[in-house]
Structure 1
Amino acid sequence: MCDAQTRRLVLDALALLNPRGKAQPSPLQITIALGCQAEELDQAFVRVLGQPASQLLPLLTPEHLTSLIAPLIAPLSPRPRLELIHSERSEAEELTLLYDYYDSPYGELLLVCSERGLCMSPFTYGDPAGTLERVRRELRPLELRRAQHPWHEGALRSLHSTDPHPELPPLHLLGTPFQRSVWESLTLIPRGSCVHYHTLADYIDRPKATRAVGTAVGDNPLAPFVPCHRVLPTSNTLGGYYWGHALKALLLLSELRPA
């Protein structure tokens, strides 16, 4: 696994991409902006993603992203081997939740599970205490106890799988019925593919609710395991992401890079 400094350089490079524009900076322009050498940037991309920046950045162009979306406008891909438990968020107030911190290829994750499944997985972004407080504030559980759990490890293993639908532990979806319907539809987007927001709205029979679907996608508590990073605007550019478009680009490149 790459070290944090190398991953930071890759994220800094991806942060220079325009999330809503069709014209993207070249690798040379990125190295000038970052004050590094082209070889240094390519080596960082190789360590994190297996290929140099010059090969990977073209995968994030609208032309390439369009080719990923076209086959999946309808229907979404059936999802095998996944148990989803639906609950209102208020039910978390009666639960004991187990949490711990784990490194991942994309940065540190705080993994949280109930007795029924993995229920939250925020990136800490270097603020583990603040991230834990966010979990406490949003879920208000009966007890929040630090302890490792096999479901945590199962979720982490899925990040290294190349299966279109990697095996996951049970996912405990805590939200409104509308949010949960959107989150469930996200699990149907296979690795290496992307969809538009309106595809999800059509799938849940709410074709006029694209904006509300976008809000629910942004509220997804189980990124990257419920893959909201695979949803793009109709311009087929990167678009927004709760954790920042650089991390969205990193997640996508890890899935789209050629073998």
Structure 2
Amino acid sequence: MLNVVQLDQHAVPIRLRDAADDYEVVRRTLAFISDHWRRQPSVEEMAEHVGLSAGHLHHLFRRWAGLTPKDFLQAITLDAARRLLRDEATVLDTAYEVGYSGPGRLHDLFVTHEAMSPGDYKAGGAGLAMAYGFHPSPFGKALVLATDRGLAGLGFCDAGGEPTALADMTGRWPRASFREDPRLTSPYAERIFDPGAWAGGRPLRVVLIGTDFEVRVWETLLRIPMGRATTYSSIASHIGKPGAARAVGAAVGRNPVSFVVPCHRVIGRSGALTGYHWGLTRKQAMLGWEAGKTS
């Protein structure tokens, strides 16, 4: 049985602790909006619901996402999602290369990746050693899993959901060995969630562990730049399987390195955000947060 313990908060940069605290308010605000969106609640109503003044909520959103609450909500509407899909046919044709100098890469994580052999995956991760740790992030608690070759897993949960998140992630490679080592995984969390650390000269190493088909889908997700989106059918066409949109959706849902391999940037052809393994509210938060970073 794996035991879940919380990372020593003194080892975590203050900016990540603050972002994690802010996210809880953002999450509650989004939940309120989801329940009352038909009558378009005012910022004052949202603030009252989360126990803050309108001014405090305004400043919190600005600190967390770089957007006002109103701007944030506009960034996650159906119309905004449809705008993200403009020219989506060309999004996946732009090769993702570490160090690419185009303006669209200024906000990217700069990922370099490798895939483990299909045999390693079929063996359930036998012989694979992973360290794990829970860390604050702008989207709740982040569960980071790493091997000696790089980042292998990233999941999320809210307070109290740590055992479920850990069981979810470790169950993907049932024969691997896992040890809790938050001091080893902490640098990954800092690198992933601090935009100031995103630089082509410091690529984030990622290891993709899945079937051949899944890895092809996940590699395609890495081509979607921040501030853009694509659809399941476009990914299917891009990998030469135009009739496999449903299978692509399943592979996207099984992406073990969420946010870094940006499955949250895949939406329905209508612009609907559709589901997300770690919760639709979290997907909304990620897209709104990214809108703030790219605006």
Q: Which runs of 5+ in 1 are unaligned?
A: none
- The change in CA–CA distance for 1:78 and 1:70 in structure 2 (over 3 A counts) is same
Of 8, 29, 34 in structure 1, the residue corresponding to residue 49 of structure 2 is 34
1:79 aligns with 2:79: no
Structure 2 distance, partners of 1:245, 1:204, is 26
Residue number in structure 2 paired with 1:174: 209
- The change in CA–CA distance for 1:174 and 1:71 in structure 2 (over 3 A counts) is same
1:183 aligns with 2:218: yes
Contact 1:155 1:168 survives alignment (8 Å): no
Deviation at 1:230, TM superposition (A): 0.5
SS of alignment partner, residue 110 of structure 1: strand
Offset from partner CA, 1:143-185 (integer Å, 9 cap, x none): 2122257675245323333769895432221111111111111
Deviation at 1:204, TM superposition (A): 0.6
Contact 1:79 1:165 survives alignment (8 Å): no
Structure 2 distance, partners of 1:223, 1:166, is 22
Output the TM-score relative to the length of structure 1: 0.85
Residue number in structure 2 paired with 1:136: 170
Contact 1:97 1:145 survives alignment (8 Å): yes
SS of alignment partner, residue 143 of structure 2: strand
**Structure 1 residues 136-145 or 180-189, which shifts more?**
136-145
Contact 1:41 1:53 survives alignment (8 Å): yes
- The change in CA–CA distance for 1:52 and 1:136 in structure 2 (over 3 A counts) is same
Q: How does 1:92-171 map to 2 (within 5 A)?
A: 92-126=125-159, 127-148=161-182, 153-154=187-188, 156-161=190-195, 168-171=203-206
Residue number in structure 2 paired with 1:15: 31
Residue number in structure 2 paired with 1:221: 256
Contact 1:16 1:25 survives alignment (8 Å): no
SS of alignment partner, residue 42 of structure 1: helix
- The change in CA–CA distance for 1:209 and 1:29 in structure 2 (over 3 A counts) is farther
1:59 aligns with 2:75: yes
Structure 1 distance, partners of 2:281, 2:199, is 23
- The change in CA–CA distance for 1:79 and 1:3 in structure 2 (over 3 A counts) is closer
- Counterpart residue type for residue 143 of structure 2: L
Structure 1 distance, partners of 2:136, 2:50, is 28
- The change in CA–CA distance for 1:238 and 1:40 in structure 2 (over 3 A counts) is farther
- Counterpart residue type for residue 40 of structure 2: P
SS of alignment partner, residue 189 of structure 1: coil
Output the TM-score relative to the length of structure 2: 0.76
Structure 1 distance, partners of 2:280, 2:249, is 15
SS of alignment partner, residue 123 of structure 1: strand
Aligned alpha-carbon RMSD (Å): 2.9
- The change in CA–CA distance for 1:177 and 1:24 in structure 2 (over 3 A counts) is farther
Deviation at 1:85, TM superposition (A): 1.8
Q: How does 1:179-218 map to 2 (within 5 A)?
A: 179-218=214-253
Offset from partner CA, 1:204-235 (integer Å, 9 cap, x none): 11111111111111111101110001111112
1:90 aligns with 2:122: yes
Q: Which runs of 5+ in 2 are unaligned?
A: 1-14, 99-111
Deviation at 1:242, TM superposition (A): 1.1
Structure 2 distance, partners of 1:164, 1:25, is 39
Structure 1 distance, partners of 2:40, 2:268, is 20
